[in-house]
Every structure is written in structure tokens, then in C-alpha cells.
Amino acid sequence: MQPLRLLLVEDEERLAGNLRQGLSEEGIALDWVKSAEEAEAILARKSYDLMVLDIGLPGKSGVDFLRERRRGGDSTPVLFLTARGSIDDRVSGLESGGDDYLVKPFAFAELLARIHALSRRRPAVQTAVLRVGDLEFDAVKRRARRADKTIALSPKEAMLLELLMRRVGEVVTRDMIAETVWDSGYNVFTNLIEVFVNRLRQKIDADPKNSMIATVRGVGYSMKRA
């Protein structure tokens, strides 16, 4: 089996050195760079199974770097590793295309578990275009439309919408959303799910008083059938 190939983008040398040693001992092939600009240079020559990315980098921020990579079609799973732990910071990181978010300081065992969880993520072979009433979502192109109007979605909003549409009429629990959209990266003590559901409602609902996404109090959410 090929070793997991990881790119670490981190300017804190002591932390990077410790991670490099620890991950190498776990059999992970790791390259380390200190800035987004260095990451861009190495990514022009090599590909990786995933990236661990700091936000507060010298020069271009990790968020701006990843947003540009996603626009260019790079789908490499990314774990943000940062000292910035507010809800706004988490939302910004995840909406830029991040797949997971871990706040410093952290336990190495948790970082390792999240890396392995991201490395196991594989796209499922499922129906490509989902429809609920006049709402349509293309699961391949990651595009949503309603009444012939394109809806701009962040990567996490797209994952949430796909989950709800694939289970239309069913109750999707908060645990199901956390597991599908964030893997091990969801902190149960935050209101991140509510934030993303509300943002999704604002984008897809023609009538805010009659949302397509119903709240099932104390349990989760459900996409209404047309």
C-alpha cells in the first residue's frame, strides 16, 4: 500500500518539526512548506492525498490560498490547523473549501484521527442530478438552481443540501449532518450546523416564511417534499 502523502503548510517551525516527526513515525510521507506561495510552487510539481493548512501564514492567508485552489479545480481534502477558533473563523475556513478544522492547541492523536478520516473519504456513485420541486442540485458539478436561477453555494453548503435532498421527506439528525459534512471535525458545543442551515435557507427559499428545510426540534432537519 502506498503511504499517505501529506503537504503541511505551517510557518511555526517548532510545531511543524514536531508534526513532521510524529506523522513520519506513523508512516505518512510528508512535505513541509512555510507559506502559501511555497505551497503553490510545490503543488505545481506534485500531488498529495491531503493538506494540513494554517490560516495565519506570512503573505497570502490559508483561506485565500485554498479559495483560489478550489476555484482552479483542486479537490484535495484540506484540514485547517489554526489558533483561530471563533465561529466566524470556522465558517470562513469551511466556506473557502476546507473539509475539517482543528484549533490549536490540540492533541496529536486527534489530529491523526482526523487525517485518517479525511484520507478515507471517497465519493459515492449516486444519482447525479437531484430534484425537489423546482429546486435542482447537480451532485457532479456541485451546482444548485431553483426556478432556472443559479444559486451560489459554498462547498459545505453544497454537501448539506445534497444530504437533505437525498433524504427528502426524512428526518436528518444533527449527528448525521456532523458525520457527513464535517466527519470528526464538528464540535458539538458550537452552533455551526444551525449557522449553515440558516445560510442555506436564505439562498434556496423563495418564501422565508415557508422554508423547504423544516426544523425537527431537538433532533435535526428535514427537506420537505414538493
Contact 192, 90 (CB under 8 A): yes
At which of 86, 119, 152 does a domain end? 119
Q: Tell whether 64 and 134 lie within a shared domain.
A: no
Q: Could you report the per-residue pLDDT of 36-49, keeping only the tens digit for each?
A: 999 998 888 778 88
* Helix, strand or coil, per DSSP, at residue 144: strand
Q: Tell me, yes or no, whether 84 and 159 share the same domain.
A: no
Residue (of 154, 72, 153) closest to 145 by Cα position: 153
Residue 169 falls inside a structural domain: yes
Q: Are residues 135 and 62 in the same domain?
A: no
Please give the mean pLDDT across all residues of the chain.
Answer: 86
Asked if residue 31 and residue 112 are part of one domain, the reply reads yes
User: Domain containing 196: what range?
Assistant: 129-223
What predicted TM-score, i.e. pTM, was given to this entire model?
A: 0.60
Query: Hey, how many other C-beta atoms are within 10 angstroms of the C-beta on 33?
Result: 19
pLDDT > 90: what percent of the chain?
42
124 belongs to a structural domain:
no
Q: In this structure, are 112 and 207 located in the same domain?
A: no
Domain CATH number, residue 166: 1.10.10.10
pLDDT digits (tens, 9 = 90+) for 72-116: 878 889 999 888 778 888 888 888 888 888 888 889 999 999 998
Contacts of residue 205, Cβ cutoff 8 Å, sequence gap at least 6 = 211, 212, 213
Neighbours of 212 (CB within 10 A): 23
- The answer to whether the beta carbons of residues 223 and 213 sit under 8 Å apart is yes
